[in-house]
Amino acid sequence: MAGTPALASRGLGIRFGGHAAVDDVSAAFEAGTLTAIVGPNGAGKTTYFNLLSGQLKASAGAVLYKGEDITRLSAAQRTARGIGRAFQLTNLFPRLSVAENVRLAVQSRHRAGFNMLALWRQRADLIEQAQACLEQVGLAARRDDLAAKLPHGDKRKLEVAMLMALEPEVVMFDEPTAGMGVDEVPVILELIRRLKARGDKTILLVEHKMDVIQTLADRIVVLHNGRLVADGRPAEVMASSIVQEAYLGVRRKSKEPAHV
Ligand SMILES: Nc1ncnc2c1ncn2[C@@H]1O[C@H](COP(=O)(O)OP(=O)(O)OP(=O)(O)O)[C@@H](O)[C@H]1O
């Protein structure tokens, strides 16, 4: 529906004991845009992602997908609708090969399930699509390796390949280049750039690296103590006093000046 955001949160919140980890956060994300979610450590970024993707149930507010209230849907139901998220290695099958991991993700999109005849017919297609996903992340040469044996950076790439295999409309990346070597980072950034260039995906990115944010983001949402404190175009948001304070606050604690 024109004008309806792909994904939105309305007054979204969750409390852990007495602590509001995400507090009354309202934001809407349009198709064709990439929004970086930033904030100091403990600001609530990952918790907000967990609420959007359904890993956590909200204590307050709502999550809307194309205008439909999906707050009560499970994470799996949200994935089936088109909200895809890279899960920081928890979704890999360590005893399967790289290619088999991606093939399972392709298969789950086709919902081939255990219908053997359908599976057989689709097999060649599945393999081809899995291969294309591996090529996108630069993992084609490791297709036969066991997932468990991959170095950390390659595991992160595999996770992104599996996310691509799901062909989600909303794509959520939580620090996609964390733990990667400097030579591996450009592959993932290029993939995200190409995904964005398609113009039909809604991309959300939790990211600390300022250079990554500045290259990719159309918009920045800043969380601080669970609350949304700034939301706008990168240049405006970065210049705002609240971000300068949060940024400087982190800089005092961290040795990495490139972190928001
Ligand atoms: N399951 C939980 N139980 C209790 N408290 C939690 C839980 N998950 C998160 N929190 C708390 O909620 C707050 C927000 O945490 P969250 O991990 O979302 O922050 P973040 O912005 O992603 O931080 P980082 O940049 O360090 O990953 C923190 O104070 C954290 O300790």
**Is pTM beyond 0.90 here?**
no
> If you measure from the C-alpha of residue 36 to the centroid of ligand 1, how many angstroms do you get, rounded to a whole number?
18
Q: Ligand 1: distance of its center to the CA of 50 in Å?
A: 10
Show the ligand 1 pocket: residues with CB < 6 angstroms: 16, 21, 39, 41-47
- Ligand 1 pocket test: pick from 22, 25, 45 the residue with the most ligand atoms within 8 Å of its Cβ: 45
| Helix ranges restricted to H, 29-137 | 45-53, 75-81, 98-110, 116-136
Q: How confident is the model at residue 176 (pLDDT cuts 50, 70, 90)?
A: confident
- Sign of CA pseudo-dihedral 177, 182, 184, 185: positive
Predicted pLDDT of residue 53 = 95
How many whole angstroms from 220 Cα to the centroid of ligand 1?
20
Reference 62, options 96, 28, 12; nearest CA is 12
116: exposed, middle or buried (Cβ count in 10 Å: 0-12, 13-18, 19+): exposed
**Ligand 1 atom nearest to CA at 226:** 14
Distance CA 156, CA 150 (A): 9
Q: Compute the distance from residue 151 Cα to the ligand 1 centre, in Å.
A: 27
Backbone angles phi, psi at 16, to 5 degrees: -110, 105
Q: Which helix (H) or strand (E) holds 187?
A: helix 185-197
- In terms of average pLDDT, the best of 3-7, 62-66, 91-95, 237-241 is 62-66
Q: Is the pLDDT of residue 255 over 70?
A: no
Q: Domains of the chain (ranges plus CATH)?
A: 7-82+168-253 (3.40.50.300), 92-152 (no CATH)
Residues whose CB falls within 8 Å of the CB of residue 118, separated by 6 or more in sequence, listed in order: 112
Q: pLDDT by residue (tens digit) across 200-236?
A: 999 999 998 888 888 899 999 999 999 999 999 998 9
Nearest to 39 by CA among 240, 192, 191: 240
Q: Which residue has the higher pLDDT, 90 or 259?
A: 90
pLDDT single digits (tens) 145-167: 999 999 888 888 898 899 888 88
Report pLDDT digits (tens) over 19-76.
999 999 999 999 999 999 999 889 999 999 999 999 999 999 999 999 999 999 999 8
How sure is the predictor about 257, in pLDDT bands with cuts at 50, 70 and 90? very low
